[in-house]
Amino acid sequence: MSNLGAVSTPFGEPVEEVPLTDPPLITAIAQVQFPPVASLAREDFIGPFQERIRSQYPFLEREEQTVGIELTSEGIRAQTGSTPVWRFRDRQHEPIWNISLAPSFVALDTVFYPSHAEFLFRLREVLRTLQDTVEPSACTRIGLRHVDRLEVGPDLGDLVRPEMLGVVGVDYGADVGLIHALSDTLFRHGDAVLHGRWGLLPPNAVLDSLYGPGIESPSWVLDLDMYAEDVEGAFDVDDLVNMAEHFAQSIYRFFLWAVRPELLRRCGGNA
């Protein structure tokens, strides 16, 4: 495939997916928020939801999520209140697919993203199950986030576009070494927002739990989070999946624009 990564602009029409045997994507997560359903804090209430998905996500755990933070004379501290989050996993150890259900949101995440179609198929199943068993009245926010991370060396410029390098691409001289550089950018894209963070991380850096554990060598991260807030109308599964598909296509086009063909080749794309 001689036109690997041949995308001239970051925004535009959907582009064809390039199969990769070793993709740099380490996390993909979709979250749909809705007006709080207090009964979701009860184990007996989530029973019908669990029964519908139990064959694919048999392992269930309950976690407590801190409600928020408060400002005090001693600084910022977590509030004592918390809300339960139910975690449904496909495996007990090192799960690949996870569902998180809380009184005000449901989320699907994975460390394995074979295609838009597979992810959206699972998301539709989750949202349909939620609609049938919990009956949320509306959607207040929907978002999709992809995080790519790869180990890099001096040849980073061969892997990503000059526009994505920023200060990383500057020659500082023999006595200066760049340790850390992260760009943070917001784009308005139609009725949605694309929040992008990308840059160079030093060895063993852990800036965000979705970036995975620290690794022993420098790495480059591309974190793209697309979302729409104040979504109006009823909780409609087809509409939400269509929005998620638009987000996935937009994020993927930005990714293909941001990287060079050499990165795709190293990740197993056919030249």
**pLDDT bracket for residue 169 (50, 70, 90):** low
Mean pLDDT of 174-195: 86
- 101-132 confidence digits (pLDDT tens): 999 999 999 999 989 999 999 999 999 999 99
Residue 180 is given by DSSP the state -
Strand pairing partners for 106?
Answer: 32, 101
Rounded Cα distance between 249 and 246, Å, is 5
What distance lies between CA 136 and its chain's CA centroid?
23
Mean pLDDT of 46-72: 84
**pLDDT bracket for residue 62 (50, 70, 90):** very high
Q: What are the phi and psi torsion angles at 46 (to 5°)?
A: -85, 0
**Whether residue 1 has pLDDT greater than 50:** no
What distance lies between CA 132 and its chain's CA centroid?
26
Instruction: Please give the span between the terminal C-alpha atoms of the chain, in angstroms, as a whole number.
Output: 5
Tokens at residue 204, please?
């063993």
- 136-149 confidence digits (pLDDT tens): 999 999 999 999 99
**pLDDT bracket for residue 80 (50, 70, 90):** low
Rounded Cα distance between 29 and 146, Å, is 7
